[in-house]
């Protein structure tokens, strides 16, 4: 298929993006970047970690996305006393039939909201992360496939560290994107006040079927990714591992470890999904630059020296994107 044909196909297939975005805008004021990143995660078959202070519509955004699609949604509030069985389910003994039966947990849904994932202990976090990676759950001696589309959207609160269990770096790598959410601007905040004071809360209506999402994911993979763009992705990821080889020697004492091959895969997939949202059949360098911060933010380890100098992973990503040659 040539680029012109592919472009026309993508324009037809991506028409639902505007409808879905409009439905979500009914409920969410501002936060366009967060809505775009949720769509990228959904179209690229990845999971998302949302970080932001309370009250920035993280839960509302995820709930609105699920209710705009005729899909099953479940919200799990992570607490220190949560058990893996509360998440994935357990075996229950039935006196009537005198045998054990499986009671499935809330993880058996299409969209899972793991609220404040860093509030629960490691064994609960790893039960969810296993389901995310393997797309299956084992209860007793039975293994159950999770229904597609399956997407975990986890939230974490960056301001309160008492009584939290930070996610280990190796486990955070399971999330395709880590999206940091900021406060709304003054105009958006005034609109939020009006909506809440008047008590008129618009409702989203289902505009898509789960099958539409699965079909769109196949089309997203068809988006053309040129070899020059592939080289650009590998240059960026290799700059996080060996900065000195890419004229970034000053970053060497600041990075303890760089992005894994999973980072390269996820940049490519997220860029394809971003191009799809922008109704384009091919990836351009701007797509890579748009998704890089969210894909790499949680995949770059900082040294004590970087922390002492208040240098964040965002600073390092910005430096890399400004230095690596754009094709």
Residue range 72-103, pLDDT digits in tens: 889 999 888 889 899 989 888 888 888 888 88
* 150 and 112, same domain (yes or no): yes
* 88 and 160, same domain (yes or no): yes
* 206 and 119, same domain (yes or no): yes
Mean pLDDT computed over 61-65: 83
Higher model confidence: residue 253 or residue 30?
253
Residue 289 has pLDDT above 90, yes or no: yes
18 is a domain residue: no
Residues 144 and 132: their CA atoms lie apart, in Å, by 13
Domain boundary residue among 157, 188, 211?
211
15 is a domain residue: no
Percent of the chain whose pLDDT exceeds 70: 98
**Counted domains in the chain:** 2
pLDDT band with cut points at 50, 70 and 90 for residue 162: low
* 161 and 74, same domain (yes or no): yes
CATH code of residue 248? 1.10.8.80
Q: Which domain holds residue 261?
A: 223-323
Which residues have a Cβ under 8 Å from the Cβ of 322 and sit 6 or more positions away? none
256 is a domain residue: yes
Residue range 175-193, pLDDT digits in tens: 999 998 888 888 888 887 8
pLDDT band with cut points at 50, 70 and 90 for residue 19: confident
71 is a domain residue: yes
- pLDDT value at residue 178: 92
- pLDDT value at residue 161: 65
* 94 and 198, same domain (yes or no): yes
Mean pLDDT computed over 245-252: 87
Q: How far is CA 282 from CA 45, 111, 262, 275, in A?
A: 19, 28, 21, 7
30: left (phi over 0), alpha (psi -120 to 50) or beta: left
* 204 and 283, same domain (yes or no): no
* 133 and 252, same domain (yes or no): no
5 is a domain residue: no
- pLDDT value at residue 288: 94
Whether 254 contacts 316, CB under 8 Å: yes
* 204 and 276, same domain (yes or no): no
- pLDDT value at residue 1: 60
Residue range 113-148, pLDDT digits in tens: 988 888 888 888 888 888 888 898 988 888 899 988
Domain boundary residue among 211, 246, 277?
211
Which backbone phi and psi does 53 adopt, to 5 degrees? -70, 160
Residue 166 has pLDDT above 90, yes or no: no
Mean pLDDT computed over 229-243: 93
108 is a domain residue: yes
Domain boundary residue among 168, 191, 211?
211
* 314 and 170, same domain (yes or no): no
CATH code of residue 132? 3.40.50.300
* 93 and 128, same domain (yes or no): yes
Q: What is the mean pLDDT of the chain?
A: 87
- pLDDT value at residue 160: 64
- pLDDT value at residue 233: 95
Q: How far is CA 237 from CA 231, 233, 234, 260, 321, in A?
A: 10, 6, 5, 8, 10
What number of CA atoms fall less than 13 Å from residue 81's CA on the CB side?
0
* 270 and 312, same domain (yes or no): yes
Give the range among 20-34, 216-230, 299-313 with minimum mean pLDDT: 20-34
186 is a domain residue: yes
* 156 and 227, same domain (yes or no): no
Q: How far is CA 82 from CA 105, 108, 117, 122, in A?
A: 12, 17, 11, 10
Q: In what order do the strands lie in the sheet with 177-180?
A: 73-77, 111-115, 151-156, 48-51, 177-180
- pLDDT value at residue 239: 93
Mean pLDDT computed over 167-172: 77
Residue 286 has pLDDT above 70, yes or no: yes
6 is a domain residue: no
């Amino acid at each position: 298929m040539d680029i012109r044909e592919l472009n026309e196909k993508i324009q037809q297939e991506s028409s639902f993006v505007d409808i879905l975005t409009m439905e979500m805008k009914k409920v969410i004021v501002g936060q366009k970047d967060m809505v775009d990143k949720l769509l990228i995660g959904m179209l690229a078959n990845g999971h998302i970690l949302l970080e932001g202070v309370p009250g920035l519509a993280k839960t509302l955004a995820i709930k609105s996305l699920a209710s705009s699609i005729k899909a099953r949604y479940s919200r799990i509030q992570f607490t220190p006393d949560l058990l893996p069985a509360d998440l994935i389910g357990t075996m229950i003994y039935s006196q009537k039939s005198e045998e054990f039966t499986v009671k499935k947990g809330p993880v058996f849904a299409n969209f899972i909201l793991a609220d404040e994932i860093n509030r629960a202990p490691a064994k609960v976090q790893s039960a969810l992360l296993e389901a995310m990676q393997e797309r299956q759950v084992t209860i007793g001696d039975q293994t159950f496939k999770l229904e597609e589309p399956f997407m975990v959207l986890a939230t974490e609160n960056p301001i309160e560290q008492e009584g939290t269990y930070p996610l280990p770096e190796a486990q955070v790598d399971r999330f395709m994107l880590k999206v940091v959410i900021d406060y709304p601007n003054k105009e958006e905040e005034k609109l939020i006040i009006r909506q809440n004071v008047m008590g008129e809360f618009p409702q989203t209506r289902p505009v898509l079927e789960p099958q539409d999402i699965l079909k769109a994911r196949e089309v997203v993979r068809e988006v053309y990714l040129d070899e020059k763009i592939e080289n650009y992705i590998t240059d960026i990821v290799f700059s996080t591992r060996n900065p000195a080889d890419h004229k970034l020697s000053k970053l060497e004492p600041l990075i303890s470890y760089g992005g894994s091959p999973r980072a390269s895969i996820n940049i490519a997939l997220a860029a394809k999904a971003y191009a799809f949202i922008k109704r384009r059949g091919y990836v351009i360098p701007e797509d890579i630059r748009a998704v890089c911060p969210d894909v790499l933010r949680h995949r770059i380890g900082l040294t004590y020296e970087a922390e002492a100098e208040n240098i964040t992973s965002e600073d390092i990503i910005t430096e890399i994107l400004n230095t690596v040659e754009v094709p």
